[in-house]
Structure 1
Amino acid sequence: PQSKPASPETSRYTTHEVIIFHFSRSQISVRQEEPPFLEPLSWRFPEEPTKDEPHFPPNFELRTTVAPDSIKVICGDNSIRVEAKRDLLGIGVLVQTADAQILIFESELHGCGSQLLMSEEAFIYVFTLLYTPSPLGGSPIVRTIDFSVSIECHYRRKNDVSSDVLKPTWAPFSETNASEESLYFSLRLMTDDWQFPRSSTQFFLGDMIKFEASVEQFHHVPLRVTVDSCVATVVPNVDTVPRYAFLGNNGCMFDGQLTGSSSRFLPQSHKDKLQFELEAFRFQHGNSDVIYITCSLKATEAAANVNATNKACSFSSGWREASGIHHACSCCDTDCRAGTKSSLTVKGKQQHTLS
C-alpha cells in the first residue's frame, strides 16, 4: 500500500537518522579492514641532553685552606687573656652576637677548666676555647661549624739565678698560642729574729748565719721549696779547693753530723719558704777571710710527698726532717738518688759572699 508522504520535517529527520546510522557502520567497517597507518612511525623520543665538562682557565687554582689568624693569647703573671676576632674561621662569616656577647676572655691560670702539664723544661697550662653556632634566624641552619681551639701557656722551669731576682723574658711560640716566664727563686741572709733581710754579710766565728730560701707562687699551683746542696769556697767557683759541701744529697745538712755544730733546718711552716742556719766557720789554711756560699734550690708541687729527693734534713743525735717526715732522711748516710725515679722539679742556683 502507498503510504502517506511524510511532512518535510519528518522526512528530513528520518533521512538524516538513517544516513548517520549507515555512515557510522560503514566507517567502522572500513577502519577495521583497511588501517590508515600502513607504514611505521618515524618519531622517536629525543636523546638526553649532554653537558660539557667545565674548562678552567690556564691559571686557575682551587683555593687552599689557610689557618686563620683570628685568636691572640696573652699569658700574664697569674692570668690568661684571649682575644678572638668575630671571623673566627677566617671565611668571612662573623660570629653572631647571640653566640658571643664579648670576644675577650680572661681567666686565672688555674681556672676556667685549665689543665696543668709538666715536662722536664716547662709548666704548661692548657685551655680549650669552644664555639657552638646557633641557628640563623628562625631557620634550622648554620653557616659555621662547631670547633674547639687548644690554647697553651708555657713557663720555663729551669734557670740559673744570682742573688737578684730573675726578671722574666717573654718569647711567644711561633706555632702555638703560648708564652714563657721564669720562676722567682730567692736565697737571703736574715736577721737573728728572722723578720728582715740582713744588710751586712760580715759574721764572727760562733755566729749563726741565717738563710731563707723561697720561691714565688704567682700563677703556679702551690709550690714547695727545698735546698738540694750548698758548697762553701774561697773563690766564686764551686769546683775549686778548698771547698766544703756542708749540705747535699738532696737536702741533708751534713755540718751538724760532721762537726757537731748546731747547724739545722727550722720547722717548715710555709711550703714556699725554707729557713736554715749555719754556724760560721773559716777554712783552716785559707788566706782569705771571704767565703763564697753557693746553694742549689729546687721547687716541686706542694701536694707532692716529702721523700728521699725532696726533703730538708738536719742531724742532732739522728736525722730529722723539717716538716716531720723523718723517714725521708733515712738515706742521708747513703745515696738518696739510688733506686729513685727522677722527679719533675724546678731548679736554680744562688750564691752569697760572706766575710
Structure 2
Amino acid sequence: MALFWQSAFLLSLAVAASVHAEMKLDCRPGFVSLVWTESRSRADPSLFRLGGCAPTSTTARSATFNVEFTDCNFRSMVTGSQLLYTSELTYSSDSKGQTLIQPVVCIFNRPKDYFPITYDPVFETSGQSDLIFHMALMNDDFSGPAESTHFALGSFIPIMARVEQNSHQPLLLLMEECVAATTPQLHPDSNLYNIITNKGCLTDSKRSRSRFEPREMSSEIHLSLQAFRFALGEEVFIHCKLVAWDPEGLDATKKACRFVKGHGWKLLDNPAFSNLCDCCDSSCKSRWTRSTHSGHHGMAQNVVLGPLTITEVSINLTD
C-alpha cells in the first residue's frame, strides 16, 4: 500500500492568519491531490503554486491541485525501500510582502523493479518534442543500475546522465555544473563539494582520478567520480545542471573537459579542440552572443541524485 506524509515545517510564513490554514494531501500512484484551505485568509488562492503549477481550481478560501508527478517540478528520489516525490507549495504576494514555502512530500514503497532515476521532468522545446532527463548511479561497467548506494573512500562512483530526445533533432548531453551536498535541496548556507564547475570543467579531476568516460552515444554522458572525503558516513546528494545542446554549438560555455596529469585540460568529445578548455582555470565565457537565430539551441535542467554514502575504508590506489 502506498504511504504518504505531509511535512508540517514552514520555512517561511508571513501570510496573515496562517495559523488557521490546513493542507490536505492525498498521494496516489502517479498523481497527487492537494487542497490548501484557510478559515480566515487574506491570501489570494490564485497566487498559490505547487512547484511551477497554478491551482487546478480555487474558491474564496482554498486552492486545489490535482496533478501528476511528471508535472509541477516534482523530484523523485530513492532512499532504501522507499520512493519519494517532493515539491513545494509556495505563495507570494508582492503587493503585501506575503510569502509561504511549504514542503510537499509523498512516500511510496519502492517497486522491486524500479530503476533509480532520481529526477524525471518533461519539458516542451519550441514545440518540437519532449525532452526527458535522467540521472542514476550505475554498476562498474555502466551496464545497469548500481546494486548499492555505499561507496568506499577512493573507489569510483559511476554516474550516468541521459536525455530522451524522442523525435527531437540529435542533442549532446553535457554536465554543466555539479556539486555534492548533504541535503536534497541546496540552501545559501549549504556545505558543498565542487565536482564540475565553470561551464563543464571536471574540477575534481585535478585532485583525483575522476574522469568522463568515452561516449557511446551523444545523448548520454558517463562520469566515473572518485569517492571523496566529504561528509563521510552521511547521506550525500549530487546536484547537477544538465544541458542538452546542439552538437555543432560547442564553445567555452558548452563543453565537457577533464584534467589529465601531464597534459592539462582535454575536451571529451573532440580532443583536437581542447583549447575550449583553456578557460577552466579562470572563467569560461562565450565569445559569441547567442540568439534564436544563431542555429544553436537546447534545454537545461537541474537534477538531484541520491542519497549515497561514502565510507572511510583503507584502499590502496595507484595511478
Residue deviations 1:18-51 (CA, integer Å, cap 9, x gap)? xxxxxxxxxxxxxxxxxxxxxxxxxxxxxxxxxx
User: Unaligned regions of 5+ residues in structure 2, if any?
Assistant: 1-72, 77-117, 291-295, 310-319
Residue deviations 1:84-136 (CA, integer Å, cap 9, x gap)? xxxxxxxxxxxxxxxxxxxxxxxxxxxxxxxxxxxxxxxxxxxxxxxxxxxxx
Q: Is 2:248 the partner of 1:248?
A: no
User: SS at the partner of 1:331?
Assistant: helix
TM-score by length of structure 2 reads 0.53
* Higher RCO (CA < 8 A, seq sep 6+): 2
Cα distance, 1:195 vs structure 2:
0.8
CA-based RMSD of the aligned residues comes to 2.5
1:308/1:341 CA distance change after superposition, 3 Å: same
Cα distance, 1:267 vs structure 2:
2.0
Residue of 100, 114, 133 corresponding to 1:185: 133
Conservation of the 8 A alpha-carbon contact between 2:253 and 2:286: no
Match of 2:112 in 1: none
Residue of 322, 339, 348 corresponding to 2:301: 348
TM-score by length of structure 1 reads 0.48
Q: Is 2:252 the partner of 1:308?
A: yes
Identity rate of aligned residues, in percent?
A: 32
1:216/1:290 CA distance change after superposition, 3 Å: same
Match of 1:218 in 2: 166
Q: Is 2:232 the partner of 1:279?
A: no
Q: Distance in 2 between matches of 1:251 and 1:160?
A: 26
Q: Distance in 2 between matches of 1:191 and 1:264?
A: 16
Amino acid at match of 1:243: L
Conservation of the 8 A alpha-carbon contact between 1:312 and 1:322: yes
Cα distance, 1:308 vs structure 2:
0.9
Match of 2:39 in 1: none
Match of 2:244 in 1: 299
User: SS at the partner of 1:203?
Assistant: strand
Match of 2:82 in 1: none
Q: Distance in 1 between matches of 2:217 and 2:192?
A: 31
Match of 2:35 in 1: none
Cα distance, 1:242 vs structure 2:
1.6
Q: Distance in 1 between matches of 2:211 and 2:178?
A: 13
| 1:1-355 to 2 correspondences below 5 Å | 162=76, 163-166=118-121, 182-239=130-187, 240-257=189-206, 259=207, 261-283=208-230, 286=231, 289-302=234-247, 304-317=248-261, 318-323=264-269, 324=271, 325-337=273-285, 339-342=287-290, 344-352=297-305, 353-355=307-309
- Bigger strand fraction: 2
1:313/1:207 CA distance change after superposition, 3 Å: same
Q: Distance in 2 between matches of 1:231 and 1:336?
A: 18
Conservation of the 8 A alpha-carbon contact between 1:160 and 1:349: no
Conservation of the 8 A alpha-carbon contact between 2:176 and 2:200: yes
Match of 1:35 in 2: none
Conservation of the 8 A alpha-carbon contact between 1:232 and 1:292: yes
Match of 1:128 in 2: none
User: Unaligned regions of 5+ residues in structure 1, if any?
Assistant: 1-158, 170-177
Conservation of the 8 A alpha-carbon contact between 1:215 and 1:273: yes
Amino acid at match of 2:175: V
Computing the radius of gyration over CA atoms, which structure comes out larger, 1 or 2?
1
Conservation of the 8 A alpha-carbon contact between 1:231 and 1:238: no
User: SS at the partner of 1:255?
Assistant: helix
1:212/1:306 CA distance change after superposition, 3 Å: same
User: SS at the partner of 2:251?
Assistant: coil
- Where in structure 1 do 4 or more consecutive aligned residues deviate above 6 Å? none
Residue deviations 1:183-223 (CA, integer Å, cap 9, x gap)? 11111111101111214211111210011111112110111
Cα distance, 1:256 vs structure 2:
1.8
